[in-house]
Chains A and B, each alone.
Chain A
Amino acid sequence: MLFCVVALMIVGTQRDSGPGTPQERIESVSKRLACPTCDGESVYESRGAGSQAIRKEIVRQVADGQLTDSQIVKAIDDSYTASLKLVPGGTGFDALIWVLPIVVLIVSIVGLAVVFRRWKMQGSLTATDADRELVESALREVSDKSDS
């Protein structure tokens, strides 16, 4: 089964190669930039005039073929005073947005491991005779009720 999964994944992922079509590049870049004039939308989503202008610039840059997608994003972002990047940077204060979720995930997993370890140690306790008697009397009670 594992062999099947690995083989199929290799076949599937090998297809995922080569540069995208110009249209795909335009869309990919427009999804990485915020609309400068509207509320919380990307250039890809927005139908506003500001986004139309940026989309035109992306189309021009892609057709020009000189810059990579990331360079196009940077060039357009640099030409505006406010940041248009929808993906925060990985340095300085902005890096916190990438680091904090990973820290929270690691802390949660470690916490879970510690709790399981504690439970495991608790689990080694054996039931006393009094515990057993309590369970047996409860079971007898239930059984009597269902018989009657």
Chain B
Amino acid sequence: MENKLYTITVFSENTVGLLNQITIIFTRRAINIETLSVSPSAIKGIHKFTITIFATEDVVEKVVKQIDKRVDILKAYYNTDDDLIYQEIALYKIATDKLLQQESIEGLIRKYHIRILEMNESFVVLQKAGHYEETQQMFEELSDSIGVLQFIRSGRVAITRSKVERLTDMLNARKKHETEQLK
């Protein structure tokens, strides 16, 4: 089986030390986390982790089961890029004089759909959202032409194309179970 990029989505209760509980599962199998993004989810009190790794499907399946098994994890699942709408965001800091030397700043902005976040005498900060290849291509082009002082890319955020909302379904089932137990 070949290594592919998988996106793992994890929903958890918001408790201390959860990130460690998740990362140790990758550490044990010597899997590098490519990107990681953590934020509160749409549901109050539930946090969402989006993690990308290179692995075979066999390995990613086992890893996701191990994550899902942790007591404080509500739901964990994995997807390939085909199943997802996803995005990363990148910031580029560029020397103002170098940018002004560009033949067409407008051309650059149109080509990459750039936003300018800050501009002063010494530097300009550009923002671009897109897939890895897109933000990377812009980084390479700018590096080669006028140089990039600083570059940072966020972890991936992703939304599934599927109509099934696994977390919502799980929460509903759990709510039902809890109500039945109380009876």
Bind each other: no
